[in-house]
Every structure is written in C-alpha cells, then in structure tokens.
Structure 1
C-alpha cells in the first residue's frame, strides 16, 4: 500500500498549477477619424428656379414657358458652377473655396 501512496502523492503534487499572474493594465490611445463636413458653410441654399410648375401653368403661351425654361437653365448652370468645386473638394480632387 505504501508503494502506491507515495507515487500518488508525487503525481498529485506535480499537477499543482502555477499562480495566475496579475493582469497588466495599460491605457492605449486609439486615434479614430472624425467625420468633418467638406461642404463650406458659406454655400448658399438651393435657389427657387423660375420654371416651377405654378409659373409654367401661369404662363400665357408657349413662348413665355420657353423663356421661363431658358432662364431656369441659366440659373441651374450658375448653381452647377457653384457646386462643382465643392463636389470636387469632397472627392479629394481639389480645393474648396
């Protein structure tokens, strides 16, 4: 019986685990990008164009409607010229005014 007790004790004490080390706490600073609007603050709001449905219905004839459409086209071209640099700047392709 003594023959079995000594090896059993040695076997069980050999399985003793090491103490768990204390956790290491560290502060890690993670830099995350912050979303920034690429649209300038001085960009005007979308204008009311002259070819609204009410204006077209109120036009007396086709020539007046045509003039409204031409004027609205000029207004939209001017607005597009204002927006193109902003869009290019948002895409990273140029400077925003």
Structure 2
C-alpha cells in the first residue's frame, strides 16, 4: 500500500513539473511575441513628428483648396464676360 502511495505521489509530482514546464514554455513564447510586437510600435517622438507632418499637409491642402476656388471664380467671370460680350 505504501509503495502504491509513493508511486502515485511521484507520478503526480512528475506530471505537475511537466505541466509547469509546458506553462513556462507557453509564457516564454508569449513574451517573445509581445517583444516582437512592441519593437514595431512607433515611439512618442515618431508620433509627434507624424502629427506635425499631418498638420503641415492639412495647411497645404487648405491653401490649394483656396487657390482652386479662386481659379474657379476667375474662370466663371471669364465665361460670364465672354457669354455677355455678344
């Protein structure tokens, strides 16, 4: 009876260590995956630079929109003049 108890305890202990090793391997894999993902995340300075570039681009596009609107108004004035010249 004692031998069976010792054998059962030993089997339980080995199984527990095996599960712990498996859990440890899974955790290492998850950590490695997270580290790889974190390396791809932009830094705060990169985000700040991107925001600044977007602001400049937005200002440039607004300027272009104003120029296009002015050109459109001029074209309408020329068209109106030419149609009324007859």
Q: TM-score, normalised by structure 1?
A: 0.31
TM-score by structure 2 length? 0.34
Q: Higher relative CO (CA 8 A, sep ≥ 6), structure 1 or 2?
A: 1
Larger relative helix fraction: 2
